[in-house]
């Protein structure tokens, strides 16, 4: 029996999560996998009902589950709330409380969607990379931090970049394990020429690499990496990097693939994970059956793979999504009036994936 928590959230989060769960249920039922799904309110929806974006009850559901399926949170309605009460706080609290230290962001270009990428066809064609970002350490959490008053009346802003050997080892192992199932290449990104902390990062990753003789390790400075990602994105396989560098590089890599509506993500603590599309709640199109549900559907495929080792079922979803794209189904964000394409809504896209899975 697999235990799942479902937190659709706000705006299009609810719409895309519904399609993702429909696809998941169809697949699990079809393969006689037993499951239990417990639903909870998060974000603005939780604030409206309980006065806070994440309640203890909802957190308990997350902690008891093997994996969490998350839609998206946020919206105009809650923008003027104090930071502690804003919908986005739910996401950060869940990551922290569940200790989700590894963020996985694949970025893949589908041949049929190449025109959706701002880069030239010959540059992006064949791109299929995975960024493994450390998520609970580094400069976003290091102490001391803050803005301090100086005696001469000036202020001093401080943040601290800190990583321990253990933190680097565990994220590196995740990257190497993933690379073993892909093209067997890990690129570790740092700024070891300037930052001692990332010199330690480079050395620890090299130590871990010794346990994976079949995976090739290379290193790159982050400034060069941000350039190469645009210049030769198809050269990358697995990239492992710190919280700050990963935050920036993963957004850069998502643009290579065109629409934000196509990109899934996983945040892991060992096998336990939270799975969500990388996009937000898109209040501009919420409630209109316009959102692309494929990022959410692909997130569920990542869940089957990384939390439950059901690689075959995950592949089924990946292939069904590929086929649906090939067959010309397009939500508005990826629609280009090309011959053979048809504009569909969120629900129709979800159904098309299920129809493909039936074949
Ligand atoms: P967004 O990702 O919600 O939307 C950016 C643009 O992309 C919008 O034009 C939107 O219509 C479009 N878009 C996003 N997902 C799409 C999809 N699946 N299909 C088609 N088009 C899609 O980012 P934003 O507008 O900066 O933020 C909106 C709200 O979402 C804010 O409250 C923000 O804080 C929140 N947010 C939440 C998360 C999350 O829950 N993980 C992430 C980012 C932003």
Average pLDDT for the chain: 96
Q: How many CB atoms lie within 10 A of CB 85?
A: 13
Query: What per-residue confidence (pLDDT) applies to 254?
Result: 85
Model pLDDT for residues 82-132, shown as the tens digit of each residue: 989 999 999 989 998 999 999 999 999 999 999 888 899 999 999 999 999
278-296 tens-digit pLDDT: 999 999 999 999 999 999 9
Annotation marks residue 223 as catalytic: yes
Domain end marker among 257, 288, 310? 257
CA 150, CA 158: separation in Å to the nearest integer? 12
The residue contributing the CA closest to ligand 1 atom 44 is 280
| 247 lies in the same domain as 283 | no
Residue 8 lies in a domain: yes
**Contact between residue 249 and residue 139 where contact means Cβ atoms under 8 Å apart:** no
Q: Which of 251, 309, 311, 312 is catalytic?
A: 251
Q: Is the peptide bond before 144 cis (omega within 30 degrees of 0)?
A: yes
Pocket of ligand 1 (CB under 6 A): 12, 16, 72-75, 88, 91, 260-261, 276, 279-285, 291-292, 295, 331, 333
Domain count of the fold of the chain: 2
- Indicate if 324 and 249 belong to the same structural domain: no
CB atoms within 10 A of CB 317: 26
Number of Cβ atoms within 10 Å of the Cβ of 43: 29
| 6 plus 64 within the same structural domain | yes
Instruction: Out of 43, 89, 275, 280, give the residue to mutate to test ligand 1, the one with the largest number of ligand atoms within 8 Å of its CB.
Output: 280
Ligand 1 centroid – CA 290 distance (Å): 13
Catalytic annotation on 251? yes
**Is residue 131 within 8 Å of residue 242, measured between CB atoms?**
no
What letters, b where the CB count within 10 A reaches 16 and e where it falls short, cover 266-299?
bbbbeebbbbbbbbbbbbebbeeebbbbbbbbbb
Which residues span the domain enclosing 237?
Answer: 118-257
Told to judge if 128 belongs to the known catalytic residues of this protein, a careful annotator would answer: no
Catalytic residue among 223, 309, 311, 312: 223
* Bridging pattern class, strands 238-241 and 264-269: unpaired
- Condensed to tens digits (0 to 9), the pLDDT of residues 211-265 reads 999 999 999 999 999 999 999 999 999 999 999 999 999 989 888 877 889 999 9
The confidence score (pLDDT) of residue 201 equals 98
Are 22 and 77 in the same domain? yes
pLDDT at 54: 98
Domain-located, residue 113: no
Quote the ligand 1 centre to 186 CA distance (angstroms).
30
**Region 26-32 average pLDDT:** 97
Residue 72's pLDDT band (boundaries 50, 70, 90)? very high
Claim to verify: residue 182 and residue 289 sit in the same structural domain: no
Residues 125 and 250 in one domain: yes
User: Of the residues 242, 257, 272, which one is the last residue of a structural domain?
Assistant: 257
- Report how far residue 343's alpha carbon sits from residue 170's, in angstroms, rounded to the nearest whole number: 43
Q: How far is 40 from 54, CA to CA, in rounded Å?
A: 9
In the annotation, is 247 catalytic?
Answer: yes
Active site residue 152: no
Which of 257, 275, 308 corresponds to the end of one domain?
257
112 in a domain, yes or no? no
pLDDT for the residue numbered 260? 87
Answer whether residue 203 is part of any domain: yes
φ/ψ (deg, to 5) at 263: -110, 120
CATH number of the domain enclosing 33? 3.40.718.10
**Do 149 and 246 belong together in one domain?**
yes
Claim to verify: residue 85 and residue 183 sit in the same structural domain: no
User: Is there a single domain that holds both residue 81 and residue 123?
Assistant: no
Please state, in angstroms and rounded to a whole number, the distance separating the CA atoms of residues 240 and 168. 10
178 in the same domain as 125: yes
- pLDDT digits 0-9 by tens, 117-173: 889 999 999 999 999 999 999 999 999 999 999 999 999 999 999 999 999 999 999
pLDDT digits (tens, 9 = 90+) for 314-334: 999 999 999 999 999 999 999
Protein residue whose Cα sits closest to atom 25 of ligand 1: 282
Confidence at residue 257, expressed as pLDDT on a 0 to 100 scale: 78
State residue 336's pLDDT score. Answer: 84
Q: Is residue 54 part of a domain?
A: yes
pLDDT digits (tens, 9 = 90+) for 173-215: 999 999 998 999 999 999 999 999 999 999 999 999 999 999 9
Asked whether residue 154 falls in the same domain as residue 213, the answer is: yes
pLDDT for the residue numbered 259: 81
pTM of the model: 0.93
């Amino acid at each position: 029996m697999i235990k799942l928590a479902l937190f659709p959230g706000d705006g299009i989060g609810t719409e895309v999560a519904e399609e993702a769960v429909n696809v998941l249920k169809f697949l699990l039922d079809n393969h006689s996998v037993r499951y239990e799904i417990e639903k909870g309110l998060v974000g603005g929806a939780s604030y409206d009902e309980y006065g806070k974006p994440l309640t203890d009850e909802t957190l308990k559901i997350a902690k008891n589950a093997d994996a969490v399926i998350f839609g998206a949170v946020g919206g105009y309605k809650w923008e003027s709330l104090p930071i502690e009460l804003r919908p986005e706080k739910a996401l950060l609290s869940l990551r922290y409380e569940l200790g989700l230290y590894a963020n996985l962001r694949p970025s893949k270009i589908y041949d049929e969607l190449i025109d959706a990428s701002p880069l030239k066809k010959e540059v992006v064609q064949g791109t299929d990379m995975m960024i493994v970002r450390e998520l609970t350490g580094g400069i976003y959490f290091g102490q001391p931090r803050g803005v301090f008053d100086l005696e001469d009346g000036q202020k001093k802003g401080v943040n601290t970049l800190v990583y321990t050997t253990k933190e680097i080892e565990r994220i590196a192992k995740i990257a190497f394990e993933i690379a073993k199932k892909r093209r067997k290449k890990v690129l570790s990104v740092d700024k070891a020429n300037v930052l001692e902390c990332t010199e330690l990062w480079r050395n620890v990753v090299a130590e871990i690499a010794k346990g994976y003789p079949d995976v090739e390790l290379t290193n790159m400075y982050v400034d060069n990496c941000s350039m190469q990602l645009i210049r030769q994105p198809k050269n990358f396989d697995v990239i492992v990097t710190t919280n700050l560098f990963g935050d920036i590089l993963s957004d850069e890599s998502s643009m290579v693939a065109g629409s934000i509506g196509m990109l899934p993500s996983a945040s892991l603590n060992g096998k336990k994970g939270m799975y969500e599309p990388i996009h937000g709640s898109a209040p501009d199109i919420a409630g209109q059956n316009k959102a692309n549900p494929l990022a959410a559907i692909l997130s569920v495929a990542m869940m089957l793979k990384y939390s439950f080792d059901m690689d075959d079922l995950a592949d089924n979803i990946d292939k069904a999504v590929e086929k649906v794209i090939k067959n010309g189904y397009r939500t508005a964000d990826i629609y280009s009036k090309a011959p053979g394409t048809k504009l569909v809504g969120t629900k129709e896209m979800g159904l098309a994936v299920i129809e493909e899975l039936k074949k």
